[in-house]
Amino acid sequence: ALRFSAASMQLELTQAKQESIMKAFLHLPVWPDVKPVLDTLRSRDVRLAFLSNMTEAMLRANMQHNGIE
């Protein structure tokens, strides 16, 4: 999707740029209300699932980075 978007916008996407952008997804900060809401849902035994366009590895890395795994 990244390569397609860059090509459709006629942007140069070198391998280094692509790797840098993809690595950034591993460290995206969550919104400030995410942690308290997750804590509330967990305390009420609400079963959670993710719907995302990230890969599982990206989601897991991001969750670990944000302390919400």
pLDDT of residue 18: 95
The confidence band for 49, taking pLDDT boundaries of 50, 70 and 90, is confident
Average of pLDDT values for 40-63? 91
Structure-token pair, residue 4: 């397609």
Query: What residue spans of the chain are helical by DSSP H?
Result: 2-8, 15-24, 34-43, 56-66
Q: What is the pLDDT of residue 26?
A: 86
Computed over every residue of the chain, the mean pLDDT equals 92
Chain-centroid distance, C-alpha 11 = 23
pLDDT digits (tens, 9 = 90+) for 4-34: 999 999 999 999 999 999 899 888 999 999 9
Q: What pLDDT score does 69 carry?
A: 84
Stretch 44-49: mean pLDDT:
93
CA distance 35 to 31: 8
